[in-house]
Amino acid sequence: MNQTSGPEPVRLDGELFSDPHGLYRRMGRGGPPRPVVLPNEWPGWLVTSYGDARRLLGDARVSKDITQAFDLFPPGRARAYASALSANMLAADPPDHTRLRRLVNKAFTSRTVERLRPRIGQIADDLLAAIEPGSQVDLLDAYALPLPIIVICDLLGVPAADRANFRAWTLTFVSLTSQEEFDEADRCLTAYLTALIDDKRANPADDLLSELVQVSDQGSTLSPGETLSMAFLLLLAGFETTVNLIANGMLALLQHPDQLALLRSDPSLIPGAIEEILRLDGPVHVATVRFTTEPVPVGETEIPAKQLVFISLLAANRDGDRFTDPDTLDVTRPAAGHLAFGHGIHHCVGAPLARLEGQIAIECLLRRFSGIALDGDPRTLHWNQSTLMHGLSSLPVRVE
């Protein structure tokens, strides 16, 4: 088997953010794992094959307990994982993960999500009503961003006046930023969520954060630190991924006008279109970091023990061995089985909410405006510098 004596690590640069699909095509998307160094200087093994990605996402030998692997990161390059906010179930293995997941599942139920449907539709319509027909507008700033922020803040019980700060704070955790910017965001978010949790404990309301404070299972409860990190996880995952789902999805549709016309003529295709959008250009780029606890054979390659593993969901979802004509948007494609929300025990707990928001957001947008077009060259669009999240910083369009 090929091991670390093989090829030198490939140093990835800003193209990983600006044109990941082009980069993966040139690297031989779908091939065996290969050693790389990410733009943030993290060394590890990049996985781009659908089959390898799916297997490793569910492999117990590939751990998510990064607290046991800080020595694998260059000094000062794992600051997000050093934060108390990041000590959540996404960075835990069983049995801790099992306990935490069971507790949050008791509060984050399908019934909770489904009862939000009328409210999400109202939020979407209100945001769209503020957009003047015939105008140029940043669809991300005016629609794709505020919609999921309002939804998750409603769900968690965050006062409306406090929502404006969250995007700036949370984006710091998933982007290439300075130590000073990160420390400030970490301090502000920790202080805010701590005070909010204390208030929910003293004055419980009909919201998810109050339920998390009260939730228990067979005598097990969330500790104060676990409640804090869980609130952070649900806040970050609850809107950042959905912002990108809506914006990436509309960009894909605007670049495939025949598919956009299909959805206009038959809105019943929208749920399936959301799955295809998630497959084609999902909101998560590289799955949250894992590391090998022992040597792990992957085909003819062996990833040695104590190595970081970067599983590219974007690349896996365009693996031609799994999906026919993978770079093409086809809203009639049976896209089931994509990995946009992960796989295995860490499959995204908020996937039902993200799907619902995506469906409602696009349906309301197409119903509101008879014409939507990109305002400018799509090659000039700027993508956020994040290995975790795959999302635009703006989406200028003209609406009719």
- Tell me the HSE value of 46 on the side-chain side, using a 13 A CA sphere: 30
Q: Which domain holds residue 246?
A: 10-399
In a domain, 3, yes or no: no
Q: Is the predicted pLDDT of residue 147 greater than 50, yes or no?
A: yes
Averaged pLDDT, 27-36: 92
Q: What average pLDDT does the segment 357-375 reach?
A: 96
DSSP per position, 48-110: --HHHHHHHHT-TTEE--GGG-GGGSPTTS-HHHHSGGG-SGGG--TTHHHHHHHHHHHHS-H
- 240 inside domain: yes
Q: Closest Cα partner for 83 from 184, 200, 201?
A: 184
Cα separation, 227 vs 327, whole angstroms: 41
pLDDT-derived band of residue 6, with 50, 70 and 90 as boundaries? low
Asked if the structure places residue 200 within a domain, the reply is yes
Mean pLDDT of 137-145: 96
Per-residue model confidence as pLDDT tens digits over 255-301: 999 999 999 999 999 999 999 999 999 999 999 989 999 999 999 99
Structure tokens at 301: 């390659």
Q: What percent of the chain has pLDDT over 90?
A: 57
213-244 pLDDT, tens digit each: 887 545 667 788 888 888 888 887 778 899 99
Whether the CA torsion 207, 346, 16, 177 is positive or negative: it is: positive
What's the total number of domains in the chain? 1
pLDDT for residue 2 is more than 60:
no
Q: Examine the pLDDT at 327 and tell me if it is beyond 80.
A: yes
Give, for 195, the enclosing helix (H) or strand (E).
Answer: helix 179-202
Average pLDDT estimate for 86-108: 81
Does any domain span residue 4? no
* pLDDT confidence band for 74 (50 / 70 / 90): confident
pLDDT at 172: 75
Average pLDDT (112-125) is 90
* Predicted model pTM: 0.91
Please state, rounded to an integer, the average pLDDT across all residues of the chain. Answer: 89
- Tell whether the model's pLDDT for residue 64 goes beyond 90: yes
User: What pLDDT is recorded for position 283?
Assistant: 95
The answer to the question of residue 296 being in a domain is: yes
Amino acid symbol at 58: G
Residue 229 in any domain: the answer is yes
Asked whether the predicted pLDDT for residue 81 surpasses 70, the reply is: no
pLDDT for the residue 85: 77
| pLDDT tens digits for range 178-195 | 778 888 888 888 898 999
CATH code assigned at 373: 1.10.630.10
Tokens of 282: 């999902």
On the question of pLDDT at 157 being above 60, the answer is yes
Q: Classify residue 171: in a domain, yes or no.
A: yes
Residue 3 has pLDDT above 50, yes or no: no
In the prediction, which pLDDT does 55 show? 97
Residue 1 within any structural domain of the chain: no
Lowest mean pLDDT among 103-107, 160-164, 221-225, 390-394: 103-107
